[in-house]
Amino acid sequence: LLIDKGNHRHFMAKEIHEQPEVISRTLAHYVRFDSNSIELPGGGLPFDKLSKLTITACGTAFYAALTAKYWFERYAKLPVDVDIASEFRYRESPLPKDGLAVFVSQSGETADTLASLRYCRDNGQLIASVVNVPESSIARESDAVLQTLAGPEIGVASTKAFTCQLSVLACMAIAAGRKRGVLSAADEAELVSALVQVPRLMADVLKREDEFDALAQTLAKAPLVLYLGRGSSYPLALEGALKLKEISYLHAEGFAAGELKHGPIALIDETVPVIALAPKDALFEKTVSNLQEVAARGGKLVVFSDAPEAQAAVKAQANFVLPMAHSLVNPILYAVPIQLLAYHTAVAMGTDVDQPRNLAKSVTVE
Ligand code: G6P
């Protein structure tokens, strides 16, 4: 298998640009296009018999899991316990009889995630994994494997594996909603048709790389960068900050917009860029009012939204109008600008983008 960077300067850039294609390939594995419905391999999972779902992962995969919590609770009325594996494995969490535990991992080799899987198996759980490497340890020790078809990911900072994980988890949440009688066939068709439009919408966002590059030049000079989001945009705020930290070594933090007033707002002054992920969903007005508080304290607001009125409403310094999409898919779509921002900031700062200091692609020891 020949792996090269193609026309790109770094693997990370290549992998960001591959996303429309690998998401299409991943969705094709789970979607029945004739009926806009989901078909999970092996006849599906027993979502209808669950009182709680447990999802465990590390790093970027954890943020995919945290996003999925919003989807499972909303579309399948299924309570989700989600945690990072290094905490979960020692928490001695009591697990329900005949429960289902899901593990999300690009490599399928992360030591803490594997240890959490074994804890769940020893405590009588059915084990399902969302993995990118089908011959990995986590895949081999799972009862059901839901593959992401992202292809080899070489850049240490995860990009395409993340959006493929989100795509598979969205399919699982829809399947769970059907099986639990929460979604009708028509609801399912609406959500699936939103999902299958993601690659096309994402390709449109990727064409605007120069705009994100220009913004990155200002981030590279900042002392600190904050990311804000609410609802299913909150995990993406955390992922945006992680991405920037990992490859540019800038200090970045993500917060739930509604939590600002409980501390983080003290960090804001006119030198701090605040990246707001504010799609026009049910929480848009709430987010806008949080952003007005940021603007009132002089923060340099940058808004990503599909609502053109967002910029005026919050007196943002910059505004990126993203394509309008179903709220289900916004976290997948909004992942692209935050990846490109991190990438171009790191390039501007001259760091080793594909092999950042102190980090490993796969953490196989505790
Ligand atoms: C490492 C990588 C991260 C990744 C995490 C989990 O820390 O640098 O990019 O998100 O491990 O890896 P996994 O292979 O389990 O998804």
CA diameter of the chain:
55
How far, in Å, from the CA of 58 to the mean position of ligand 1? 6
Give the residue whose CA is nearest to atom 3 of ligand 1: 59
**Which of the four pLDDT bands, split at 50, 70 and 90, describes residue 314?**
confident
**pLDDT of 130:** 98
**Which of the four pLDDT bands, split at 50, 70 and 90, describes residue 214?**
very high
* pLDDT, average across residues 291-308: 92
* pLDDT, average across residues 105-121: 98
179 tagged catalytic: no
Give the residue whose CA is nearest to atom 2 of ligand 1: 361
Q: Can you tell me which residue has the tokens 């999300």?
A: 104
**Which of the four pLDDT bands, split at 50, 70 and 90, describes residue 98?**
confident
* pLDDT, average across residues 339-363: 94
Q: HSE-up of 90 (CA within 13 Å, CB side)?
A: 4
Measured CA to CA, the distance from residue 243 to residue 245 in angstroms comes to: 6
- Ligand 1 — pocket residues by CB below 6 A? 58-61, 105-107, 110, 113, 156-158, 359, 361-363
How far, in Å, from the CA of 68 to the mean position of ligand 1? 17
pLDDT above 70: residue 199: yes
Measured CA to CA, the distance from residue 344 to residue 265 in angstroms comes to: 26
Q: Contact, 222 vs 250, CB < 8 A?
A: yes
Ligand 1 atom with least separation from CA of 138: 15
Give the residue whose CA is nearest to atom 15 of ligand 1: 105
Entry field: residues in the chain: 366
**pLDDT of 72:** 98
How far, in Å, from the CA of 363 to the mean position of ligand 1? 7
**pLDDT of 68:** 98
**pLDDT of 184:** 98
What average pLDDT does the chain have? 95
**pLDDT of 317:** 85
Q: Contact, 359 vs 36, CB < 8 A?
A: no
Q: HSE-up of 101 (CA within 13 Å, CB side)?
A: 31
pLDDT above 90: residue 262: yes
pTM: 0.97
* pLDDT, average across residues 48-55: 96
Extract the tokens encoding 15: 């992998």
How far, in Å, from the CA of 361 to the mean position of ligand 1? 6
- 65: Cα separation from own chain's centroid: 8
pLDDT above 70: residue 1: no
pLDDT above 70: residue 2: no
